[in-house]
C-alpha cells in the first residue's frame, strides 16, 4: 500500500472516530496519534487531510448534500459520511490530487470499510460533486 493511500486510511479512521464520538477534535486527534505512534511517517498528509476537512466542514457537507440528491448527511452511515467528506475535501482543496484519484481512493476505502453498497454510493456522490464543481 502506498504512503498516500495509508495516510488516507488513517485520515478516514480519524474522521470516522470524530464523527462517532462528537468529542473535542484536538484532544481526540492527539490521542489518535498517540495510539498510532508507529505511523509517524504517514501523519503529515493524514493531518493535512483531517485539518482541511474539519476547517471546511460546513462547505464540504453542503456540497455533499447538494450532490447526494435524496440522502441527507444525517441519514448516511458514519463510514459513508466520513469517506465522502474525505473524498470531497481532496477534490475541492488538494489541487495536487487529480479528482479521479480522490474518488478512486475513497471507493477503495469504501470497499474495505463499508457495506456492499458503500462503494457505489460513494462513487456516485463524489463523481456528481466533481462534475458540479468542475468549471466547463
Give, in order, the Cα–Cα distances in Å from 63 to each of 24, 66, 92, 95, 116.
24, 5, 10, 17, 24
pLDDT in tens, 37-63: 899 999 999 999 999 999 999 999 999
CA 32 from chain center: how many Å? 16
Q: Residue 78's pLDDT is what?
A: 96
Asked whether the predicted pLDDT for residue 2 surpasses 90, the reply is no
The Cα 58–Cα 45 span in angstroms is: 21
Q: Which of 1-5, 9-13, 66-70, 102-106 has the lowest mean pLDDT?
A: 1-5
pLDDT in tens, 89-122: 999 999 999 999 999 999 999 999 999 999 999 9
At 51, list the grid cell: 485539518
Amino acid at each position: 500500500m502506498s504512503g498516500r493511500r495509508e495516510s488516507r486510511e488513517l485520515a478516514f479512521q480519524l474522521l470516522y472516530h470524530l464523527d462517532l464520538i462528537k468529542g473535542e477534535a484536538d484532544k481526540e486527534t492527539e490521542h489518535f496519534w498517540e495510539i498510532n505512534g508507529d505511523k509517524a511517517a504517514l501523519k503529515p498528509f493524514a493531518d493535512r487531510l483531517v485539518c482541511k476537512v474539519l476547517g471546511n466542514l460546513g462547505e464540504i457537507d453542503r456540497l455533499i448534500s447538494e450532490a447526494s440528491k435524496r440522502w441527507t448527511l444525517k441519514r448516511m452511515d458514519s463510514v459513508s459520511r466520513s469517506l465522502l467528506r474525505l473524498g470531497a475535501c481532496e477534490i475541492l482543496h488538494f489541487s495536487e490530487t487529480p479528482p479521479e484519484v480522490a474518488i478512486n481512493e475513497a471507493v477503495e476505502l469504501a470497499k474495505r470499510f463499508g457495506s456492499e453498497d458503500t462503494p457505489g454510493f460513494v462513487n456516485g456522490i463524489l463523481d456528481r460533486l466533481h462534475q458540479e464543481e468542475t468549471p466547463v
